[in-house]
Amino acid sequence: MKKFSVVIAGGGSTFTPGIVLMLLENLQRFPLRAIKFYDNDKERQETIAKACAIILKEKAPDIEFSYSTDPETVFTDVDFVMAHIRVGKYKMREKDEKIPLKHGVLGQETCGPGGIAYGMRSIGGVLEILSYMEKYSPNAWMLNYSNPAAIVAEATNRLKPNAKILNICDMPIGIETRMATIAGLKSRKEMRVRYYGLNHFGWWNRIEDLQGNDLMPKIRKHVEQHGYITELKDDHTEVSWNDTFAKAKDVYALDKDTLPNTYLKYYLFPDYVVKHSNPNHTRANEVMENREKNVFGACRAIIEKGVSSAGHLEIDEHASYIVDLATAIAFNTQERMLLIVPNNGSINNFDATAMVEIPCIVGSSGPEPLVMGEIPRFQKGLMEQQVAVEKLVVEAWIEKSYQKLWQAITLSKTVPSASVAKAILDDLIEANKDYWPKLS
């Protein structure tokens, strides 16, 4: 069986060790000859890489492992690039979250003005990695997790329409795992779903078991009472995530024919989110105090003792989805998966050029989107507003346009007025001057 060479871009990410453990767990179906890390922060990457080197040497000594900040070294002889970079790191995420809150608007990694600010940083970083891949390994595929995936996908589709990049999100996977538990199934793979929307902005409108039995009534009944809170333990057990899973109950109440993505709470209940936010301590702080501290602490312990058992790192089971995708491309499995792809008529009463999240059949030549047909007016109205925001951000980045970015922030459902949008924008420009194109 062919063995693959994989780059993890954003080698210094808190998710990298979990992905490495997950790749090791899946070698039977996705055999590897090389794992390479790339990051533009040498020191941050080194801590993760030195620990992963010890793990790999113990568990899979045949896999060649290396890491570097030099693109040519890393991107030469590669089959897949799995990317999860965060341009500006947590320091800038913290600003994305706290600046809007100063103006009474919610602060979130991928939604509202914070997500827009992050998008303006991320587009260039992701395009740069794509260009390295195309230069040194033109036949490779890039599987991109880097957020905000909606804006990044719009940008890559607009500027590199023929590139072999697939933008993906693990949120539906996490929610579907909870749905499977609610339905009494062992795995989300025992369900077949229909889902439509934008990234972090979508709805399930059919969920069946593999025999074709409708699971929606049972799941609906649970969500109506408890949102997506289940007995199941998972990685996102911090208070803020539990609140998000619980709030799905109120999001669901708006349309009882569908089941919502948790991220819709930011658009439908922004006042609630602001009221429950601490402007001095946001999710970025929570992540730095928990995930970042734990992952880097475990890596340092492993390096110090020279054995993998010296630090506890959690396998990222959600990310096995990225192996499903790589396997589908590598072995033409024709697996059905949710991906962010050009609409092109799949949602037939919606903008053909929009990047939408819908089920696709995936094989060696990439994704073939399924037809989702006509969507209801409520969802269509929300999606039209949000897709306009995302397109305006990408146009603002390309044209370096202050005006278009102001329009984008104004149009976001999370922002009450053009004057508030302008005040937030002016603060964001100042905070992002090392990362954004200079706007005029």
Give me the active site residues, please.
170, 263
Candidates 156, 110, 158; CA nearest to 133 is 156
E-strand stretches of 210-321? 259-260
Q: Does 339 bind ligand G6P (CB under 6 A)?
A: no
Nearest-approach distance from CB 238 to Mn ion, in angstroms: 17
- Six token digits for residue 159: 């500027």
- Paired with 358 in beta bridges are 339
On whether the CB atoms of residues 298 and 55 are closer than 8 A, the answer is no
For residue 440, give the DSSP letter: -
Question: How far is it, in rounded angstroms, from Cα 79 to Cα 67?
Answer: 16
Stretch that binds ligand G6P, among 46-54, 166-174, 382-390, 411-419 (CB under 6 A): 166-174
Nearer to Mn ion, 169 or 313 (CB): 169
Question: How far is it, in rounded angstroms, from Cα 177 to Cα 172?
Answer: 8
On whether the CB atoms of residues 116 and 151 are closer than 8 A, the answer is yes
Residue choice 26, 146, 262, 327 for contact with ligand NAD (CB under 6 A): 146
- Six token digits for residue 297: 């602490």
Question: How far is it, in rounded angstroms, from Cα 250 to Cα 268?
Answer: 9
Question: How far is it, in rounded angstroms, from Cα 74 to Cα 49?
Answer: 13
Print the binding letters for residues 79-118 with ligand G6P: x by CB under 6 A, - otherwise: ------------------------------xx--------
Q: Containing H/E element for 258?
A: none
On whether the CB atoms of residues 45 and 67 are closer than 8 A, the answer is yes
Question: How far is it, in rounded angstroms, from Cα 269 to Cα 274?
Answer: 9
- Say which entry of ligand NAD, Mn ion, ligand G6P, none residue 154 contacts (CB below 5 to 8 A, set by partner kind): none
Which residue has tokens 């089971």? 317
Print the binding letters for residues 119-158 with ligand G6P: x by CB under 6 A, - otherwise: ----------------------------x-----------
Nearest-approach distance from CB 235 to ligand G6P, in angstroms: 8
Residues 12-51 that bind ligand NAD (CB under 6 A): 12-15, 39-41, 44
Cβ-closest position to ligand NAD: 12
Candidates 359, 361, 382; CA nearest to 176 is 359
- Say which entry of ligand G6P, Mn ion, ligand NAD, none residue 125 contacts (CB below 5 to 8 A, set by partner kind): ligand NAD
Nearest-approach distance from CB 174 to ligand NAD, in angstroms: 9
Q: Does 169 bind ligand G6P (CB under 6 A)?
A: yes
Residues 84-123 that bind ligand NAD (CB under 6 A): 84-87, 89-90
Q: Does 260 bind ligand NAD (CB under 6 A)?
A: no
Residue choice 46, 134, 170, 316 for contact with ligand G6P (CB under 6 A): 170
List of residues contacting Mn ion (CB under 5 A): 169, 171
DSSP 3-state of 281: strand
The footprint of ligand NAD (CB under 6 A) covers: 9-10, 12-15, 39-41, 44, 84-87, 89-90, 125, 128, 145-147, 149, 169-171
The footprint of ligand G6P (CB under 6 A) covers: 109-110, 147, 169-171, 283, 287
